[in-house]
Chains A and B, each alone.
Chain A
């Protein structure tokens, strides 16, 4: 870890100002500090936002929820409104990390946590994300946990968050504050960038831009679940995960909001998969068609080839679970 300057933000504009000047925002620090110890990230200054009033969960006018960027993963998972109306989010949060980490990890930090690619973490290895233009040692290395969708020749990292997958399925938006005081709203599709030839650029956020909240739209009808498939029962990142919200009316699927983790550089959502399902009766054949669509462009690199059949099986299983009553 390199010596760094520590600044405590007194108000949000303070934070954006410092961040625009090059300071890195620290929230829970559960990801950032690890990366600093390894000098994968080596900021000259940290701007601590923990004293800002961004830790409220409030209802919005249209029945949604505004979640402050500093709300911890534990608080959010246990919020009675979330558990009742957006259970997919609660489940996704509880499937992540460990109790201790969730107590510290924040909503904003969770969204912006960096990939767990083992080659990104190892400074002796080439990594275009860490050092643009240096190459990608992961492609031909041990790539079991890495992405099969949305990758580029420059990067095959996955986004590791469980929470963000549920938020993507829920159509959540982030609210941000830029240097100078302007704010904007982005949905998660807009927020995250695919690696292309600049895997070091992970989001559209500008220097200094602070996430202040995440807004959930009003609850929707239907059944919700989060299924996380992993190498051990807890404290492991998703190999594949599926967040699903499904509604059936008169024997037909009328809503299918699906997002996927473990497969891609960002929480993955494919509206064409949903289009295949909506309007149709739930059958195994239909589910297989949806999986075909999801995986049409998917590509493994050896160790991670299994993610294709695993994603298929998991999707079919989740859809089966969510449509169980309709199928009886």
Chain B
């Protein structure tokens, strides 16, 4: 009953276009929305498990040395305290996304300030918190380790180096060139829901109610960390209050809860404190990026260089992949790229909101703006002139790519032709500018499984361990199943977020919707074939709509065809040759109007538009919401967001939502989004590509380019806070 599908050839049949239910693409509401706004969707930390007690984790106050809990006995005797646990299996930092095994473990030595080195468990949360705060953590033989990415030792990432043609020569001979270095700071995912887990053991079987994005990996990571077989571990995570990368890999609280629950023989709940979310989950690495561009008199690129430095803790291999889209976005035969990884003792760097492109495309798009200005060419026109025919490095064809359309249509929708000259427009004390940037993000398909059951009563049930982190998975999986099986949306039940269900790709890297959506599609195709067999017709000749089957000039209710039987199929999709045969990516363009205060240098985004192409749009509302969210984070990246580190010990100084400045409503103007219709046969049989992260990949550059247009100031050190703007004015 397993239906395998490997993406080895383009899916030119476009079966979804033949279907009649009219669900796919429709701007349907998220079915779980009412539960969330009424407080009845149960999040990880909200479960009330019988006999549950509470754990609070303890942080390392410095970044090296052997950890000693000097008043441990005293704390263990505080009211309500059940145990003070410092276990070798505690995680040094969270697992990277898709790691599938435990990260570095150990609670004996500190590697960064804020590392979670113990857990204190008590009858009540308040008792546990007080006890955790009372614990004196002393570090022996600790001297402060390096925390500054500029001076830290670096390792060249040879596998990411590229040397094609002669970039130096191209620059020397260029009519126009730029050579600029930009820096971007560390970012925090800052999900509203903190990382939280409740662990309960039944003998040797562990159930963890957690807040995670990729359950099949998380289960293996947790089992590995504890030293138990994965079959013994079940993770339940039906609702996730935002992840943005920080819940891709198993985080320290899950292991702490599991260890404590085992030791005490009672369920244990551990939620990270807000400060701990900032200090001990994942940061996006700060980056230093040098971009070199060489162009002829018409602005046609013949050289492109991108050299980056990022950082991470010793032992971590993740290096923020900032070069990812620089490989294919623009033409230019002479190309040079390199990547350095600095080793330092700030919290672990990992995936945060579109790792790579979020900051990489942004800086490339700033450099393109500098080139446009230098060459006196309109920034949109400069980009149009540099859309490569084929992948400029591999020579491969692109799959679908409405990049040109996004630039042109976006410019029209925004009114780009009214762009003022640099420092030309002023309204009272406000300087007004327009800026634009391109958007690009790689597209990926991943292994994913889902079970679909068509029930005798004409309802269907979709089951997979896929997660919905607020993005719309419940909505779109139901839409795909309903479309394929000819059922209204309210006759589909979607069950997610439980490792007892078939393993899915998980939410991350923008691949969740297409990968798990394809597994549902594959299962539904198999169900359709079985229905066709029963009726002795070809599958293509079935028309399913509103619970009725039409074939060979007759119509029957589904129930009559099923006659009391249930048809259950497991859809299993795997990536195949199409991921290598062509270059797959999503594209778009952003346009922003900004106002900069002439005296204070404060920047306000007045309006912003994005045009995006990401294959078939599965739900126009949730897709738009993703793009709006991405652009909002773009505003944050451009203007406000920065993890501030103490220069001496590298601790996160601004570790709460009041001081780590995510944009608030007043920072976000009307955002408009245009989704360009597209079918990408190479990407998936849904002809859809990932859209989750596209909206942030370059967004910040539209705003900072607008600041230049308004003020003549280039802020090359993100975020463009007012102090940096006034320095240039």
Q: Write the residues of chain A forming the contact surface with B, with a CB cutoff of 8 angstroms.
A: 1-3, 37-39, 116, 118-119, 122-124, 137, 140-142, 144, 229-236, 239-240, 306, 309-310, 313-314, 316-317
Chain A residues positioned under 8 Å from B554 (CB to CB): none
Contact assessment for B667 and A234 in the assembled complex, using a CB-CB cutoff below 8 Å: yes
Closest CB in chain B relative to A2 CB, distance in Å: 6
Q: Does B126 contact A (CB under 8 A)?
A: yes
Kindly list the 6 A-B residue pairs having the minimum CB-CB distance in the complex, ordered from nearest: A317-B599, A306-B723, A233-B666, A234-B666, A142-B653, A124-B61
Shortest Cβ distance from A124 into B: residue: B61
Apart from A37-B129, A229-B722, A310-B601, 6 more pairs, CB < 8 Å = A1-B129, A3-B130, A118-B659, A141-B646, A233-B666, A316-B599
Q: Does B144 contact A (CB under 8 A)?
A: no
Contact assessment for A317 and B130 in the assembled complex, using a CB-CB cutoff below 8 Å: no
Task: Among A3, A137, A140, A229, point to the contact of B602 (Cβ < 8 A).
Answer: A229
Q: Does B624 contact A (CB under 8 A)?
A: no
Contact assessment for B726 and A232 in the assembled complex, using a CB-CB cutoff below 8 Å: no
Q: Does B654 contact A (CB under 8 A)?
A: yes
0/1 string, B137-162, CB within 8 A of A gives 1: 00000000000000000000000000
**Which of B93-101, B221-229, B518-526, B637-645 is found at the contact surface with chain A?**
B637-645
Give CA–CA (A187, B429) in the complex, Å: 35
Number of residues of chain B lying within 8 A (CB) of chain A: 38
Contact assessment for A235 and B130 in the assembled complex, using a CB-CB cutoff below 8 Å: no
Shortest Cβ distance from B134 into A: residue: A39
Contact assessment for B130 and A1 in the assembled complex, using a CB-CB cutoff below 8 Å: yes
Closest CB in chain A relative to B528 CB, distance in Å: 52
A interface majority secondary structure? loop
Chain B stretch 101-119: residues in CB contact (< 8 A) with chain A: 113
Q: Does B552 contact A (CB under 8 A)?
A: no
Contact assessment for A142 and B664 in the assembled complex, using a CB-CB cutoff below 8 Å: no
Task: Among B600, B644, B665, point to the contact of A229 (Cβ < 8 A).
Answer: B600
Given the contacts A39-B130, A118-B659, A232 and B666 also touching, CB distance less than 8 Å: yes
Contact assessment for A313 and B666 in the assembled complex, using a CB-CB cutoff below 8 Å: no
0/1 string, B566-603, CB within 8 A of A gives 1: 00000000000000000000000000000000111110
Closest CB in chain A relative to B401 CB, distance in Å: 36
Contact assessment for B647 and A142 in the assembled complex, using a CB-CB cutoff below 8 Å: yes
Contact assessment for A141 and B648 in the assembled complex, using a CB-CB cutoff below 8 Å: yes
Shortest Cβ distance from B659 into A: residue: A118
Listed by A's residue number, 27 A-B pairs whose Cβ atoms lie within 8 Å are A1-B126, A2-B130, A3-B130, A38-B133, A116-B658, A119-B653, A124-B59, A124-B61, A142-B645, A142-B653, A144-B644, A229-B600, A229-B602, A231-B722, A232-B639, A232-B640, A232-B661, A232-B664, A233-B667, A234-B666, A306-B722, A309-B726, A309-B727, A310-B723, A313-B601, A314-B599, A317-B429
B interface majority secondary structure? loop
Task: Among A1, A119, A236, A313, point to the contact of B661 (Cβ < 8 A).
Answer: A236
Contact assessment for B727 and A306 in the assembled complex, using a CB-CB cutoff below 8 Å: yes
Give CA–CA (A124, B275) in the complex, Å: 13
Given the contacts A141-B648, A232-B639, A314-B599, A306 and B664 also touching, CB distance less than 8 Å: no
Task: Among A142, A232, A240, point to the contact of B667 (Cβ < 8 A).
Answer: A232
Contact assessment for A314 and B600 in the assembled complex, using a CB-CB cutoff below 8 Å: yes
Q: Does B604 contact A (CB under 8 A)?
A: yes
Closest CB in chain A relative to B652 CB, distance in Å: 9
Task: Among A235, A313, A314, point to the contact of B658 (Cβ < 8 A).
Answer: A235
Give CA–CA (A122, B133) in the complex, Å: 11
Chain B residues positioned under 8 Å from A118 (CB to CB): 653-654, 659
Give CA–CA (A306, B728) in the complex, Å: 12
Give CA–CA (A6, B311) in the complex, Å: 49
Shortest Cβ distance from A304 into B: residue: B723
Chain B residues positioned under 8 Å from A231 (CB to CB): 640, 661, 721-722
Q: Does B663 contact A (CB under 8 A)?
A: yes
Give CA–CA (A324, B195) in the complex, Å: 53
Chain A residues positioned under 8 Å from B658 (CB to CB): 116, 235-236
Give CA–CA (A124, B602) in the complex, Å: 33
Chain A residues positioned under 8 Å from B645 (CB to CB): 142
Contact assessment for A235 and B600 in the assembled complex, using a CB-CB cutoff below 8 Å: no
Closest CB in chain B relative to A132 CB, distance in Å: 20
0/1 string, B497-541, CB within 8 A of A gives 1: 000000000000000000000000000000000000000000000
Give CA–CA (A288, B105) in the complex, Å: 59
Give CA–CA (A313, B726) in the complex, Å: 9
Closest CB in chain B relative to A158 CB, distance in Å: 13
Give CA–CA (A118, B659) in the complex, Å: 9
